[in-house]
Homo-oligomer: A and B are copies of this chain.
């Protein structure tokens, strides 16, 4: 844990019985309106659970959002449900003032890591591989535009996560496009490279796609598949909402690393809110 904001702010301290931790949620990841970012809380919960399992890599993380979180003290209770030969399962619950805020369930394993060399491998790595799809086709980050941080005085997370896109979003310019899909670059603003722990935060760090429909949203549930260790550098991302109905919508998110590997897929279910 160095001086990077993500590492400092997701830190947990042992507190009492095994699996019980204390966390200090900061206001540096707040979105518009002052709610602590859900992905940041999921990442913090996942980090706590990771201390208990014998495998290094979260491979699937599911978070349910029961209440908005607020900056300040939080308690986390993590427990391992099963630890098998290749996969461990457990949960991690974050409470504030005795009230449940986020419940995270996750599976951990060991993903193949190019840095480990070919001798360390996950299950069945010799099996088939398939990539149906490609990274977003974006101009280089230097040729893209970023939303000015000053425009987000009320969304501190915009200072922590840097975005670049070919053009400014319609909703930001006051002209929602009606198309809640977008492609963009993303990275942590302080130079920390993304890893499997940061990805669950990053996939929830953007403004909701449905802003392009003139509405906002609140996440009920977020599932993240972590598919590979991301290479250092910018991440090419694609956020897509295809179905808005009955007051709910999904948002899908794909993250491709600088080596062209699809490293994370997420989907959330959210409730539509008036702006």
Chain A contacts to B: CB under 8 angstroms: 59-60, 62, 64, 66-67, 81-82, 84, 86-87, 89, 91, 100, 103, 105, 107, 111-112, 121-125, 127-133, 180-181, 210, 213-215, 220-221, 223, 225, 227-228, 240-250, 261-262, 265, 267, 269, 271-274
Contacts and interface: CB of A to CB of B under 8 A. Distances in A.
Given A103-B89, A271-B124, A227 B242 contact: no
B64 A89 contact: yes
A133 B250 CA distance: 13
A120 to B, nearest CB: 12
Contacts of A125: 246-247
Contacts of A123: 247-248, 271-272
Q: How many copies does the complex hold?
A: 2
Given A127-B247, A272-B127, A105 B228 contact: no
A273 B124 contact: yes
A129 B272 CA distance: 10
Considering residues A66, A221, A248, which has the most beta carbons from chain B within 10 angstroms of its beta carbon? A248
B107 A105 contact: no
Given A62-B105, A123-B271, A87 B220 contact: yes
A170 to B, nearest CB: 14
B221 A60 contact: yes
